[in-house]
Amino acid sequence: DGGITQSPKYLFRKEGQNVTLSCEQNLNHDAMYWYRQDPGQGLRLIYYSQIVNDFQKGDIAEGYSVSREKKESFPLTVTSAQKNPTAFYLCASRKRQGTDTQYFGPGTRLTVL
């Protein structure tokens, strides 16, 4: 089955530790995205990547980092510089040509203790 996988579904970390969230897609999509979701806030864009080895900051990139070494993978690292990292993180992907729809993964809920 084609789709987007995110792991783990739940993640707990101590304050001050970096943590990496995984996002993999087998849809052959060019563009990938990371969003943060907080209650009542909707979705806010953290980083996006249109092609391999290239990525751009979104609206709330501070305290986060990403890499795009493979088309299928777009991991997100939440660093200790992120002041309030507890949130639900959603990865999405889109084929750049011919469609405008972003498809979403199931999400990772990060809790920093």
Partner 1 sequence: AQSVTQLGSHVSVSEGALVLLRCNYSSSVPPYLFWYVQYPNQGLQLLLKYTTGATLVKGINGFEAEFKKSETSFHLTKPSAHMSDAAEYFCAVRDMYSGGGADGLTFGKGTHLIIQP
Q: Which of 4, 19, 66, 110 binds partner 1 (CB under 8 A)?
A: 4
| Omega before residue 8 within 30° of 0, cis | yes
Is residue 58 close enough to count as binding partner 1 by CB under 8 A? yes
- What type of residue sits at position 75? P
Q: Which of 7, 62, 106, 111 binds partner 1 (CB under 8 A)?
A: 106
Residues 6+ positions from 99 with CB-CB distance below 8 Å = none
Place of tokens 């309030």: 84
Q: Which among 12-20, 63-71, 73-81, 88-96 is the span making contact with partner 1, rule CB under 8 A?
A: 88-96
- Cβ 15 to partner 1, closest distance in Å? 23
Nearest to 62 by CA among 74, 49, 80: 80
The site map against partner 1 for 16-45 (x = CB under 8 A) is: ---------------x-x------xxxx-x
